[in-house]
DNA sequence: TTGTAAGCGTTATCAA
DNA sequence: TTGATAACGCTTACAA
């Protein structure tokens, strides 16, 4: 059974394509009679308009794309991504847009961008961002960036990673800790933090700023940096490495909750008492509140970030020009995973 | 700056549209010279092919849609949805498809279906499924159902809700509990469980089957049904209602982990000792393992469900005909939230 | 009130 | 090796 098109209806109902199109899109300018007859035959023939043809004609799709830096499974398993997407989705739903998840296509982010039939993109924590920007510009649809180094003439949404990180570290220092490990998200830089980009860069800066207020710095002995995969397993593994080394720390400051929780689990498995190792995370994922001890961490407004990103993009799509770079605040959430030294 | 099209390139490079198209899609059948010249001018002009026009011509989009029963925020905040989408996304990534999230458009699921430029749909836990099926059929693209009452000639993926629920209830009964509340997901049926559909229906059946093995049934006194919203808050609220009633139960069997956790939190707030109220959930969301006491629950293979769904849909899109109704197994996961009566 | 026809940017068929 | 041209299904000036 071939697809029935607007032509078939026109023929069967005895009108032209134009009239049929009107019956669907501007019924008010047609006599009721006509509309009814057309809608009836459409119903009868089982007609469903073709969204692609419509887009072809109107020049827009009613869809926005979220550009993922990695495969969908890798990204969506980050516990804060759903909350971010909820924010984006809220605005989309409100404005009648649908959402497309756009991971690299056969390994190529360029191909992904070129293939996605969307009215605009939200990019999420891009890595190879310079090359990607070129492709995006070329693609010719509006886009905005989230969680990457902002670009002059492109709207951007970021959080105040630096302040958040600084507060986290300060809190640990205030509790008297002086043997500290910074648990960083593995980058391509293998610990060369001077070369960190975007989020990693800002968080690292925050940690260092706090240390410096106490006259401290990375010293390969008491204060050290260690990188791990941004997963529960990565956190656990890193913890084992840390604990095996000489000069055990009394506190760990992690760049992500999921790593912090992994580390804490590893510690529990090794029968290390809660008080022996203080921990502070980053992100405030839902699980952070429910683990035991509940994780002290830096909260960021994931949902609001998504909302703002979507609103900015839709505005841009609607032709408004506002290249503001927004920076949303973070907040230190005190729970039970940081202990005073010597208690 | 107007969008540059294949025509502009053809003109500038001194070839026809056809040749330009070949240079991109079948470069091997053109002399290197030609290809290079065309690709160069394309680069120079900043050309990016239009995916919509391509779809218009080829008749496919390289995108599949996941049809959500409610708004994106409502659905994606269910902690097992990301895992399901990860499964779907894995197959999509592997096969070079992208994923579109399709919530009701301005409240209308019909509009959503008609507007989505996709090659096929995965429907997720549909409610108004009969009406929706009509629209989907009319839309003319393949689709498969997940978590709804399966339809004869449509591929379907479900889990063995009934067995899972039965095992959950049996476990509670084995531990000696005889005062039990079934915490159900709020339906439109207001407790008339005979009218439950799909997932609710099967889970309820499982619970009742287990009870019946012990010669028990809903009796408005010792064994009762209560409905609540499928959220943490809904679980907490329901618990308060339960606890206020006469004949407090010793165990609660919940249709969802998130409700179970909400209930447990409420209990803790009311200073009720862990042993006073046993709890078993359903779904095995990530949080279930990390709450305290860790939640005994029924695990289902969310990720595999997504994979299977995506594979089935892609097969169908590729013209294979296989209307199998798959039923994936569930598994009772024993943790620490169920206590023996009298201990 | 309704119809004609152009146009959207590709791909694909067929011919040169 | 390349080029005309039709086709995809719809929207929208413009015309009648």
Please provide the average confidence, as pLDDT, over all residues in chain B: 93
pLDDT given at position A343: 64
Q: Of A48, A79, A92, which has the smallest distance from its Cβ to B114's Cβ?
A: A48
Over residues A50-65, the pLDDT tens digits come to 999 999 999 999 999 9
Indicate the DSSP class of residue A148.
S
Q: Which residue is nearest to nucleotide D12 (CA to C1')?
A: A18
Q: List residues bridging with A101 in a β-sheet.
A: A66, B99
> How much is the pLDDT for A194?
93
User: In the predicted model, what is the mean pLDDT of residues B82-87?
Assistant: 97
pLDDT, chain A, mean: 93
Using the Cβ of B293 and the Cβ atoms of chain A, whether some distance falls under 8 Å is answered with no
For CATH 1.10.260.40, the residue range(s) in chain B are 6-58
Residues A108, B43 contacting (CB under 8 angstroms): no
Q: What is the per-residue pLDDT for A7?
A: 87
Q: Give residue-wise pLDDT tens across range A70-128.
A: 999 999 998 899 999 999 999 999 999 999 999 999 999 999 999 999 999 999 988 77
| Span CA (B11) to C1' (D4), Å | 15
Q: Look up the CATH superfamily of A161-300.
A: Response regulator (3.40.50.2300)
Q: Where are the alpha helices (DSSP H) in A256-301?
A: 257-269, 286-290
Mean pLDDT of all residues in A308-322: 95
Could you give the 3-state DSSP secondary structure of residue B114?
helix
Of A48, A101, A261, the CB nearest to B99: A101
- In chain B, what residues touch A85 (CB-CB under 8 Å)? 72, 76, 101
pLDDT at residue B136, rounded to an integer: 94
- Which residues make Cβ contacts (< 8 Å) with residue A216, sequence separation at least 6? A173, A178, A222, A223
Class of domain B63-158+302-327: alpha beta
Compare B33 and B98 and report the one with higher pLDDT. B98
A321-332 average pLDDT score: 96
Instruction: Measure A210 CA to nearest chain B CA, in Å.
Output: 31
Residue B343 pLDDT exceeds 80: no
Instruction: Indicate the CATH number of A6-58 among 1.20.1370.20, 1.10.260.40, 1.10.357.10, 1.10.490.10.
Output: 1.10.260.40
Q: How far is A119 from chain B (nearest CA, A)?
A: 11
Kindly state the average pLDDT of the residues B25-35.
Answer: 80
User: What 3-state class would DSSP assign to B205?
Assistant: helix
Say whether pLDDT at A2 is over 70. no
Which part of chain A is CATH 3.40.50.2300?
63-158+302-327, 161-300
Name the phi and psi angles at A240, rounded to 5: -60, -40
Long-range CB pairs of A136-139, under 8 A, 24+ apart, other chains included: A137/B46, A138/B46, A138/B47, A138/B48, A139/A113, A139/A114, A139/B48
pLDDT in tens, B218-272: 999 999 999 999 999 999 999 999 999 889 999 999 999 999 999 999 999 999 9
A298 pLDDT more than 90: yes
**Does the structure show a pLDDT above 60 at A202?**
yes
Q: What is the pLDDT of residues B277-304, one digit of tens each?
A: 999 999 999 889 888 899 999 999 999 9
Task: State residue B1's pLDDT score.
Answer: 53
Q: For residue A214, is pLDDT > 90?
A: yes
């Amino acid at each position: 059974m071939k697809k029935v098109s607007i032509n078939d209806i026109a023929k069967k109902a005895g009108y032209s394509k134009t009239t049929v199109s009107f019956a669907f899109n501007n019924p008010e300018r047609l006599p009721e009679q006509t509309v009814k007859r057309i809608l009836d035959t459409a119903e009868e023939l089982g007609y469903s308009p073709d969204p692609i043809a419509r887009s072809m004609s109107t020049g827009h799709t009613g869809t926005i794309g979220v550009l993922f830096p990695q495969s969908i499974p890798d990204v969506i398993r980050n516990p804060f991504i759903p909350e971010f997407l909820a924010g984006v989705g809220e605005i989309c739903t409100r404005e009648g847009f649908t959402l497309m998840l756009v991971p690299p296509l056969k390994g190529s982010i360029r191909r992904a961008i070129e293939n996605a039939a969307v009215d605009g993109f939200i990019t999420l924590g891009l890595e190879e961002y310079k090359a990607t920007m070129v492709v995006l510009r070329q693609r010719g649809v509006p886009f905005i960036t989230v969680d990457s180094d902002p670009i002059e003439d492109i709207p951007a949404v970021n959080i105040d990673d630096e302040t958040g990180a600084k507060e986290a570290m300060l809190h640990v220092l205030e509790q008297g800790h002086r043997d500290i490990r910074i648990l960083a998200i593995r980058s391509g830089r293998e610990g060369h933090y001077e070369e960190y980009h975007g989020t990693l860069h800002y968080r690292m800066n925050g940690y260092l700023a706090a240390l410096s207020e106490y006259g401290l710095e990375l010293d390969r002995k008491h204060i050290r940096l260690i990188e791990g995969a941004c997963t529960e397993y990565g956190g656990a593994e890193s913890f084992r490495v840390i604990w095996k080394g000489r000069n055990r720390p009394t506190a760990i400051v992690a760049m992500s909750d999921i790593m912090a929780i992994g580390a804490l689990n590893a510690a529990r498995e090794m029968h290390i008492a809660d008080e022996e190792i203080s921990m502070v995370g980053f992100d405030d994922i839902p699980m952070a509140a429910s683990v035991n001890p509940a994780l002290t961490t830096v909260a960021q407004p994931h949902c609001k970030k998504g909302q703002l990103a979507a609103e900015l993009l839709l505005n841009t799509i609607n032709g408004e020009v506002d290249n503001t770079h927004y920076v949303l605040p973070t907040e230190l959430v005190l729970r039970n995973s940081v202990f005073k030294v010597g208690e």
